[in-house]
Chain A
Amino acid sequence: MDALITLSINGLATGMLIFLLAAGLTLIFGLMDVLNFAHGGLFAWGAYAGVWFYMTTESFLVGILCAIITGLALGFLTERFIIKPVYGNHIQQILITLGLMLVLSEMLKVVWGPNQLSAQTPSYLSGSWEIGNVILIKYRLFIIIVGFLVFFLVHYILKNTKIGLIVRAGVMNKEMVQALGINIKKVFMYVFMVGSAMAALGGVLLGPYSGVIYAEMGLEFAILAFIVVVIGGMGSIKGSLFAAILVGLSGSFMAYYVPALSLAVNMLLMAIVLIFRPQGLFGVKG
């Protein structure tokens, strides 16, 4: 029983990190119909910028802030110069964002060197509580809380605010919203920036969680995020949350009980979902 709870918390924490990445991906896709293969690059940039500032200023909050700002800035530049010319053409989007991914991850090595960067957990988040035989690691709980907060925030904004209404309407009918006097292009730009910032946040949170960050992790986590988006259904934030938790949990349980399968379990999950529900668990057929 105790092992079960510990494993669940581990799985949830990993799941939340993946969620932050996948949510941005699915937000950008669902709302703007843009496939961003450079998302992992933004994630890695958030991680490097955040961890670097955190280690130099020794304040985790500053690190998080810097990561978010980096994400917003890179998101702005990406949308403005890379995505804008290829709106509406999926294949070109895939190709061009992949090129960007290359540039981003190599630039990381130019700025911070080819070696990995190490990050420690801030003192107030390190350590753990013990309840009975269950060990609750503070930092993992912190990640879980942040993940859920982001989810509820995004969900609330999309469903209950005027901005959310505009965004959703823009998805339905771009021209109509434009005709009502709202600059839909600008709205989409903000959506893209928010998605990038979420990826960057995920990156900086990963730093203390795994201890080291390296340039290749962008692609590694991007693959996980893609799997999550496919399982959850493209464009569904709820689906991404659910699928990310599922992937996180199955990963952590498999690593404990059936280690041999742990690396393949995500792929198997995805294959099963695809066979029975090609549009994903929460996806709408279309």
Chain B
Amino acid sequence: MKIETQSRRVLFIYGAVAVFLLCFPFINDSRSLLILFTQIFIFAVFAMSYDILLGYTGIVSFGHAMFFGIGAYSTGVFLKQFDHTMVVLILSVLFGIVFAGIVSYFVGLLSLRLKSHFYAMLTLAFAGLFLVAAEKWRTITYGNDGFTFRIPELLKDRMVLYFITLAVMILVFIGLRRFTESPVGRVLQAIRENEARTESLGYQVIHYKIIASIVAGVIASISGSMYVLTLRFVNTSVFKMDVTLDALLMTIIGGVGTLVGAIIGAGLIEFAHHWLTDLAKVHWIFERWIIFFGILYILVVMFFPAGIVGTTRGWMIKYKAKKIEKKQKKKHEIAG
């Protein structure tokens, strides 16, 4: 797969999309689209971090919202309790990263020794614990109602926020690509394919799984920090199951095991969310848009387990193979 993703044409497309996104605010002055795109970038980062677990290591986590929430709350609390300056903001993001790293280390240590399904259940329970903590620790979190806070002057401009989130997304994309193609990333993929064999090759599987869980947790925390920056508000919903589900849907629909898939999935889901919520004015059933997503999701898992990117890639490979075959046939014909 490596040869394919690194083909020049693909790199060219990535570059073109990046340039387009960089120019976008200057071409289009629709505010709501700008905000929607910012949202997509943030969730793309979150979905990519989830894909490190699900797509590259083959572990299902139902508690990824926990790390998103950690980032969200550390930024929110820091900006509220201290001062709304850039320094505090950066400190808060760093705090979130360190905290998410520690939590993911311990959660991983405690539960990654178990089989995949236990891990899924345990992460669900851990995330539940964080949700409860956020609801009960009212002096800092203001419970269920959440709180608003002020953000640094510079970030009040939507345009600046757009560029920052875009930059973070691109950086995370490049970083995670390097990570997945590094020796560690290769071992993770080996674990996904065949855990027992990887173990018998002498790799400490648990060790690598914990690394994956820390990387995923840290990146998710960054996306959480950015998320509350755009809202200037944080409440316990960041710890809810729905957040994890969003990431799951994005990766599955986009294509597990591909970082681009996570980005495309994030774009699709956010757009669909946007439109379907608008459609609620037309017919009340669209207010329950989760049903459509749920059904779509079940169908995708059943019939297109590779997602959009994976499926198209499969087609491309088949197409190329056919082309080569045809060429060879022609050669044979000429020779014969």
Interface residues of A (CB under 8 A from B): 29, 35, 37, 82, 85-86, 90-92, 94-96, 98-100, 102-103, 106-107, 109-110, 219, 223, 226-227, 229-230, 234, 263-264, 266-267, 270-271, 274-275, 278
Contacts and interface: CB of A to CB of B under 8 A. Distances in A.
B291 A103 contact: yes
9 contacts: A86-B301, A90-B117, A92-B305, A94-B116, A99-B295, A100-B294, A219-B241, A263-B129, A270-B122
A102 B291 CA distance: 7
| Interface of B: prevailing SS | helix
A187 to B, nearest CB: 23
Given A95-B252, A110-B291, 12 more contacts: A98-B62, A98-B248, A106-B291, A219-B241, A223-B125, A226-B125, A263-B132, A267-B125, A267-B128, A270-B125, A278-B113, A278-B114
A103 B285 contact: no
Given A99-B301, A223-B124, A227-B125, A106 B116 contact: no
Contacts of A226: 121, 124-125
A70 B126 CA distance: 31
B164 interface: no
| Interface of A: prevailing SS | helix
Nearest to B299: A99
Contacts of B156: none
A106 B290 contact: yes
Given A90-B116, A94-B116, A96-B298, A110 B288 contact: yes
B301 A95 contact: yes
Nearest to B106: A271
A103 B116 contact: no
B141 to A, nearest CB: 14
Interface string B245-280: 100100010000000000000000000000000000
B129 A264 contact: yes
B132 A100 contact: no
A99 B301 CA distance: 9
A100 B298 contact: yes
A234 B125 CA distance: 16
B114 A274 contact: yes
Contacts of B132: 263-264
A229 B118 CA distance: 10
A90 B117 CA distance: 7
Contacts of B295: 99, 103
A102 B299 CA distance: 13
Interface in B279-336: 285, 288, 290-291, 293-295, 297-298, 301-302, 305
Contacts of B122: 230, 270, 274
B144 interface: no
A265 B172 CA distance: 37
Given A102-B294, A106-B294, A110-B291, A94 B110 contact: no
Contact of B301 (A29, A96, A219, A263): A96
B80 to A, nearest CB: 24
A102 B245 contact: yes
Which of A82, A86, A229, A278 gathers most chain B CB within 10 Å? A278
A230 B128 CA distance: 16
